[in-house]
Structure 1
Amino acid sequence: MSALRLTVPAVKQYLLSSKRRTVFADGKREVVLLRSAPQWDGPADVDLGGGRRIRVVAAVSVLAIHELVLDHLAGQDGPAVLVVLTDQEPSDLDQAILARTHRYRIHAVDGWKVVQDKFGASAVDPRLRALPWAAEALLDATPPEGWPQVPGGVLSSRTALSLLAQRRLRLGRYAPADEPADATGIDVHALLRWSLRDGAPATLLSLRAPERDGLTAFLGEDDQAGTAARALLALVAAGHGPDAVPFGLVCAALWRHAPLDAGTLRAQGRAERWFGDEPPASGTAFDELVGAFGRACEEFVVSVRDGTVLRRAATLTRQFAAETAARHSPVLDEGLAARFATLGAALKTLDAMRSDAALRDLADHRRADEPGAKPRIGRAAMAVRLVRWLGTEPSADIPTVGAGIERHITETGWVDRALTHLTVGDPELQAAYDRIAGRVRERRTAIDRSFALAIAAGPGPALTAGTFPDRVVRPLTTGRSARRVLLVLLTGTDAASAAEAADELRREWAEFDPVPNSSGSTPRRRGMWADGTPHLPEPVGDLAAALDDPERPVVVVRDEGRLDGLAALLRAAADRDRAVLLTGAPAAPPDGLAGAAVPVLAFLPFGADPPKGWRELGDQRPAWWRDEAPPPPARPRSRRRPVPPPGAAPLFDVAAPDPVDALLASEIFTGQLELVARKPSLAKFRTAVQALLDDGTLPVTALAQRIGLPASRAPGFAAILAQVLNYDGAQVLERLPDGRTVRLNRALLREQFEL
């Protein structure tokens, strides 16, 4: 075995051990021969402390040893002790020369003993001892503060090599101050970050070949940085370390995302040559290795958002003629641009299903939430919603003023809200936006003409500015369940901006229908006809004093900024147990439905007892507005309905059964109900399921209110309902992340209960 290359720490440690301090005992000039590779990278003179100094010289031949020994013993200058590093055998030396050295022999340094002492260990892992380069490397890389101690323990191969890699590459506990410090190990993201550091790949290449190869093999182990690291370090060895991460994005496009056609194969061949003359794998193993490396680079770039890497990746894409593959990438700019183009083509067709699929694909791009893309995708989502609305073939018929107001609050106001987003320029999609906007405006104009004819017949029973105080405000402030009210007048607020405000407020507040239910209608967001200004108390100046005044049942405040400060106003009202109504009047004279329909919103804090007649609302977004993912596939059922024999015909033509009736009559539902200890009445089940079928999504308190339960029992009832409906583990009734809302999956309900 070749001699160990000694370092300054190893030489100092050896000479300062108790057995060897005699060399300094009487101050005589001494020569110490140490077995070592004849190399010395340290200073000529080494200070051992305590006034003791030595001179260290490497001797590459027997003649050099003879000259060094004789010259030192005859001289008077320099340190008294000379250390000669040599790989010669004692038998090769003149015995007369050997007799004049310390203890008449060539001393062997046990590098592993020194390493063991450096770590404060009781033993060294045999697997570590088996690495001929490791002891020298650990001694050479010893930090000024020393290695972390493992007192009384075994120095394991994993611990030693992990610390050595961190020290050599300046990773983990030895990383620069501006990088994450992980003292427990090295992962692939740490190595990818390291490869982007100026000059970092060169630090690995500068190591001696045995150590470089050993660390490369260690870092590529599965319990270290794994397969992706093997690809990265192969690129470093091939001289492409600084470009490894952007190159990895190109690899991901070629090996993971692009269809495997002739063009892709040619580009893969060009890229493969970047791994050097000896790639880290071949055949299928190489494909798997490059795929893993590409995936790691994508995840890393998405987490750090490095524009420089993406720009370099674009250059490499052109270099390898991989532009077509890059269009399939979920990370590269080319992939994002391709998905926008696909969506634009789909929108021009006014095909809702095709547009939905293209929008989902665009939103799935890993950089869809970046500042440059997120607003554009938001506008694209509005365009897709309008395509869905057009796909419903909306009727232009408005029979009464009340029907027009209700329709605007629940439908056309949302259309107007989406339409405003298409006026912002987007060169790549503007042609599609203009086509959609033109078709929507045609339909909206027809609806407004119909509404104008309805106005000629008078408002009828519709809620109007004139009847609003008597129908909405007065019932709140009178009678046995009187409640004080804060009424916020939002100047210039239309249904579109009111829906936007309500979406924001519903994150922290419960929304209600404030009109008492006298006709059994479903609770909904309300609006009134702007035929004038409601007769209400004058807005107050000192809001805090007015809210505290028990003689003021109704406090009116005008918010000239429309939606500014609404959350603060609601908090102030909630602190004083006041119900909150928000309404207003358009800033301009009524012009069509958008100008004539004034929203009426009502809010309370979550869990607050509502005023008499108020009913909590569920999700008020129209079905065509919601961007919900398709339901997950149901598990295959083991039971099947009886199939009539061929040619058999039913005895009677009957209508399809009501879905709630079919559910309650099913054997599966009956079996699920038997599992519940305290069963609510079937009537409550019926009402709850019907409400969820109608709304899809409801707060649990709103669901409880629909079936006549107090809010305090809402969570318990929702849990029982989920226990019954979530048959076989399928999430038919799902609780949303806010913890207070449930959503019914209609398709899964039909599948699981065989309706």
Structure 2
Amino acid sequence: MGGAVTPVQPAAIRRKVEAWLAEPDGVPAIALRATPLWTADPVLSIDGTAVRVVACPTPLAARAALRDRAEDERLVLLTELTPDELGDGVLAHLSLQTVRSVDPWDLVRQMFGGVNLDARLVRDGRWAAEALTDHRPAQGWPAPSGTVLTREHALRSLAGELLGLDPKQIDSAGLLQWSTDALAVQRVAHLPAAVADGLTNFLVEIAGLSAAPVMAAVRAGHGVDAIPLGLLTGALWAPAFSAEVPVQIAVARTRLEPWFGGDRLSDASAAAFRAAAEAWLDRAVDAGHLDEDARPMLRRAEAIAAEIDAMPLLAESAVLPTGFTQRMRTFADALRLAVPAGGQADPAAVVKAQQLLARSEEHRAADPAVLETARMAVRLLRWLAEPDPGAPATLADALHRQVREDGWVDRARLDIFAGDVDPQLAEAYQLLHQAVQVRRSRHDDQFAGHLAHATSAESPPGAMLRVEDVLDRVVQPILDHGQRVLLLVMDGMSVAAATELAESITRSGSWLELTPGGGARTGVLAALPTVTEVSRCSLLSGRIAVGQQAEERKAFEVRYPSGVLLHKGNLRAGAGAAFAPDVIAALQSPERQLVAAVVNTIDDALDRSDPGTIIWGQETIRAVRDLLALAQDRVVVVVSDHGHVVDRGPEAVSMPSPSSENRWRPATTPAGDGERLFKGSRVAKAGGTVILPWREELRYGPRKAGYHGGASPAEAVIPLLVFSAGNDQAVPGWSGAPVASPEWWRESLQQSGAAAQPSRPAKRNGSRRTSPAPQFEGALFEVVELPAQPPAAPAALAPQSPALVEALLASEVYAQRRGTRAPLPDDRVRAMLTALLANNDRVARDTLAALAGIPEHRTGPTITALQKLLQVEGYPVLEIDADGRTVVLNRALLIEQFHLESS
């Protein structure tokens, strides 16, 4: 008898019989060299023919099988006997009178149409042939395009059949999506080891390294957890661990090995697995399947992390929700350490908090609201890292500090006062709020001191605007210049709220802000006490007055007979209309030079809402949006009658008072802690003498969401905003406003030199903190007309410009390009490039505008002009980063394109 024969799978027998039946020899039996063992159904039905399979270990068994064959049957003899051992009598009844072999590759060739085989396919091993035989689809394998069955075609066809996927679309994405089908995964989980190994190796070739852990999880019985496992690898194989793996990470990786059948992932396959899983997650979210597809996977990943005690490590994950929570708690720890116990914050500690916030911002499950509060916290830290300048010299200086600095502080501290539900963040925000409050209280006291002195001394306003001066010194000169005006009186709007409203109005680019001389914003001093019946009536009367709507209307009509004053009731209309027809007619009428509209949205919120958490923009104040839509041909002046403070909850202090007013009282008793005495002609209540609190925590009347009436700058400083629909020369003496936010609002502290000081330009002449107030003596517009070109950058920047910039400006290539385009002034180019080079070639758009002295509305066009100037032959010397906010200089390309010396 012959040597041992490898057992042949029933599928291979069937394929061989199919080929035999297709032969025209008409012989009733075939002998196949195979182990004489058959446990399947003894009779096969192939194309309507009954074929009996008989195991024949001896010649006698073969003769008996031939003798017992039914007339309508064909016979298959499985035997290890040689032809000589079977004998001529048996051979005479067999196909080809011999024992035929069952070569798996012959079967493969047969199944694919008799083509030749790619040698690389054969070298892959017998597993491929057997798998192709065992898993031949009912409709047969797809024929190759040529006369050779390539390895790629054969194995793609096999993989597609095993996975139930289109063979042409097998990639990492398809493989992960396939893993979500439990039945499909189950069919593959129990493949023979050789087939599973071969299939995995081929999938790695065509789908990438992520296929290896996917298939390992499938074989371990965890295939449906492939995506959660891939998401979890983001925490356990984070790039930060490439050099040295912490012990706790190594332990967690070991505990995860059973999920992959005891295998340990390589760094490369883990990185690919993570990328593929996160890409799947992104696609699910983009397709709108967050709740039904993405969230269950995220929850399952965290459940697996809990099973292997890896929850504390999830901060390294950029996608798992717990990772964001942990990152924010780490940020909270850094924030607590950075809050100064007194005086200034340590810049190095602020840098650390900034870095941890940036890490939280990178998290894909980041909560935008949580991040925005954290950004406000970091801004306040940067403010605390700056030295607190001495007390302002004048009331005007104190007023402009509120407009240009402290109003932005108020905006940020409202967010951190609202806080967060996480107790660690809440504790950090509370500490920060207390530190901010110390400095802000000092500023409030200084402001109130100047205000009390100026009021009692009846000091002339000089350059400073008072609420009763707005009509004469702001509105009337615009009307005299032939421009029609919409005066928006935003009842209760503080400087902090105005910063949000201004951003909302100018965001689309259809409206641009104007400031006197293109300089910093100015503000207006409210009448006292800072209540609506005093300050708004004084605004609309042009003198200190007290009254309600009737008195306001009467005074306004006397002053502007052809003007229109609209209160809340006048603005309302019936169903389907934003405004009543007469309101629209007034705004569109050429004869109505001045239309004034009182918008009470903010003041109303002080009674019935939560003014500290609302973002005051066109989205939340619809009347502003709708009025602006009708006022495109008017100059829009936005002003308030007073600001407000918010309720401090358990920190609030309720003081006794003989009246029911919330933030002022008659001077029946002396001023106490946090109060001052105010008297003079600008005090319109209680006979001209009142007690006003300057501490924001104090109140006298019933508790509300917010209050006004007091002497804090948040109440007494009125924002003034002027807008034009696209024409920065609409008002003589006014021009496009620069970036309004202070430096600490925009700019992160840099790590280099952080321990010593913030790495931002030194305070310059013309900066917000040192620039003089705009001059409003007499007519507001008695200012020299600005040239058509915006003013050059601050002169102090020019001497600091590096040699590289000067070499550029002196280069022949630059001269040629400058001569062929509408040129930017050299001073502007110098300022912009100097700012970029000083900040490691990356600067936020608004910061670049501020450093280079560009009006805010011209920032985009100016950057575009600089791009065109520098991009020789289209090379991207200057680009806008993917975030849409950062200007990036390619220094090496600048040197190359303009033939400059790198030194």
TM-score bracket for the superposition, by shorter chain length:
0.7 to 0.9
Q: Say which SS state the counterpart of residue 198 (structure 2) adopts.
A: helix
**Which residue of structure 1 lines up, in the alignment, with residue 363 of structure 2?**
368
Q: How does 1:671-690 map to 2 (within 5 A)?
A: 671-672=810-811, 675-679=814-818, 684-687=825-828, 689-690=830-831
> Do the aligned partners of residues 251 and 467 (structure 1) sit closer, same or farther apart at CA in structure 2, a change above 3 Å counting?
same
1:596 aligns with 716
> Which residue number corresponds to residue 212 of structure 2?
230
The alpha carbon displacement at 1:365 in A equals 4.4
Aligned partner of residue 447 in structure 2, secondary structure: helix
* Structure 1 residue 143, shift from structure 2 partner: 4.5
AA of the residue aligned to 1:718: L
Q: 1:466 aligns with which of 443, 468, 475?
A: 468
Q: How does 1:104-115 map to 2 (within 5 A)?
A: 104=97
Q: Does 1:358 align with 2:353?
A: yes
Instruction: Find the partner of 2:622 among 565, 575, 578.
Output: 565
Q: How many residue pairs end up in the alignment? A: 683
Counterpart-to-counterpart distance in 2, 1:67 and 1:603:
107
Q: Which residue of 1 aligns with 2:162?
A: 168
Report whether the alignment pairs 1:343 with 2:331.
yes
Q: Is 2:119 aligned against 1:126?
A: yes
Aligned to 2:737, which of 589, 608, 617? 617
| Alignment CA distance shift 1:201-1:753 (3 Å) | same
Structure 2: how far apart are the matches of 1:83 and 1:671? 97
Aligned residue for 2:744, secondary structure, equals coil
Q: Is the Cα contact below 8 Å between 1:166 and 1:186 reproduced in 2?
A: no
Indicate conservation of the 8 Å contact 2:586/2:592, yes or no. Answer: yes
- CA–CA distance in structure 2, aligned partners of residues 308 and 193 of structure 1: 14
Greater relative contact order (CA < 8 Å, ≥ 6 in sequence): 2
Residue aligning to 2:76 = 84
- What amino acid maps onto 2:356 in structure 1? D
Equivalence map 1:570-589=2 (5 Å): 572-573=629-630, 577-586=633-642, 589=708
> How much has 1:248 moved relative to structure 2?
5.3
Q: 1:380 to 1:54 in 2, by over 3 A?
A: same
Alignment gaps of 5+ in structure 1 = 24-28, 75-79, 175-182, 634-656
Query: What's the counterpart of residue 550 of structure 1?
Result: 590
Residues 486 and 594 in structure 2, CA contact (< 8 A), matched pair in contact too:
yes
Superposed, 1:57-96 pairs within 5 Å as: 57=53, 59=55, 61=57, 66-74=63-71, 80-82=72-74, 84=76, 86=78, 88=80, 91=83, 92-96=85-89
Structure 2 distance, partners of 1:334, 1:83, is 67
In 2 relative to 1, CA 380–711 (structure 1 residues): closer, same or farther, beyond 3 Å? closer
Find out whether 1:394 has 2:535 as its counterpart: no
Aligned residue for 2:19?
Answer: 14
CA deviations on 1:527-581 (whole Å, 9 max, x unpaired) are: 333443344632363355445433344444555546333785377348x544544
The aligned amino acid for 1:216 is T
Q: Distance in 2 between matches of 1:448 and 1:511?
A: 33
Correspondent of 1:209 among 174, 193, 214: 193
Written as runs of structure 1 = structure 2, the 5 A alignment for 1:314-463 is 314=302, 316-317=304-305, 320=308, 322=310, 325-326=313-314, 328-331=316-319, 335-349=323-337, 350=339, 351-365=346-360, 368-370=363-365, 373-395=367-389, 397-422=391-416, 423-426=418-421, 427-456=423-452, 457=454, 459-463=461-465
1:272 and 1:736, CA in 2 relative to 1: closer, same or farther beyond 3 A?
A: closer
Partners of 2:154 and 2:588 in 1: CA distance: 70
Please report how far the alpha carbon of residue 509 of structure 1 lies from its aligned counterpart in structure 2 after TM superposition: 1.8
Q: Displacement, 1:215?
A: 0.4
Cα distance in structure 1, aligned partners of 2:132 and 2:463: 89
**Quick one: which amino acid aligns to residue 434 of structure 1?**
Q
- Contact 1:527–1:598 (CA under 8 A) maintained in structure 2: yes
SS in 2 for 1:446: helix
Query: How far apart, CA to CA, are the structure 1 residues paired with 2:86 and 2:749?
Result: 84
Measured after TM superposition, the shift of residue 230 of structure 1 is: 2.7
Show the 5 A alignment for 1:180-219. 183-187=168-172, 189-198=173-182, 200-219=184-203
Match of 1:654 in 2: none
Deviations 1:595-615 (A, max 9, x none): 23333334556x666524452
Cα offset, 1:677, TM superposition: 0.9
- Per-residue Cα deviation, 1:666-702 (whole angstroms, up to 9, x for no partner): 7534444653315479993225645898997459999
Which is worse superposed, 310-319 or 345-354?
A: 310-319
Q: Could you tell me whether the CA contact under 8 Å between 1:396 and 1:447 is conserved in 2?
A: no
Counterpart CA distance in 2 for 1:328 and 1:739 is 26
Give the aligned residue type for 1:462.
Answer: M
Q: Find the residue that maps to 1:347 and give its secondary structure.
A: helix
Contact 1:34 1:84 in 2 (8 A): yes
Q: Let me know the Cα RMSD of the aligned residues.
A: 5.0
Residues 120 and 453 of structure 1: CA distance in aligned 2, closer, same or farther (over 3 Å): farther
Q: CA deviation at 1:491?
A: 3.9
**Given the alignment, which residue of 718, 739, 742 partners 2:866?**
718
Q: Spell out, residue by residue over 1:195-217, the C-alpha distance to the aligned partner (whole angstroms, 9 max, x if none).
A: 45435543323223332221022
Per-residue displacement from partner, 1:479-506 (whole Å, max 9, x unpaired)?
A: 4xx4445554444332222322333444
CA distance 1:208–1:674, change in 2 (3 Å): closer
Shift of 1:473: 3.8
Q: Is the 8 A contact 2:319 2:365 kept in 1?
A: no
Question: Matched residues in 2 for 1:90 and 1:164: separation?
Answer: 34
Give the Cα separation in 2 of the matches to 1:293 and 1:712: 41
Identity %: 29
Change (3 A) 1:14 1:569: farther
What's the CA shift string for 1:442-493, capped at 9, x where partnerless? 32222222222333425432234433344444444554xx444555444433
- Separation of aligned partners in 1, 2:99 and 2:637: 97
Q: Using the alignment, how far apart are the partners of 2:98 and 2:29 within structure 1?
A: 10
Cα distance in 1, alignment partners of residues 425 and 592 from structure 2 = 53
Q: What letter matches 2:128 in structure 1?
A: A
Alpha-carbon distance in structure 1 between the residues aligned to 2:825 and 2:187: 72
Q: Is the counterpart of residue 661 in structure 1 residue 796 in structure 2?
A: no
* Matched-pair contact (CA < 8 Å) for 1:617–1:702: no
TM norm structure 1:
0.73
Task: Call closer, same or farther: CA 1:413–1:111 in 2, change over 3 Å.
Answer: same
Q: What is the rounded CA distance, in whole Å, between the counterparts of 2:69 and 2:802 in structure 1? A: 105
2 CA distance for matches of 1:225 and 1:97?
A: 54
Between the aligned partners of 1:740 and 1:339, the Cα distance in structure 2 is 24
CA–CA separation in structure 2 for the residues paired with 1:145 and 1:599: 79
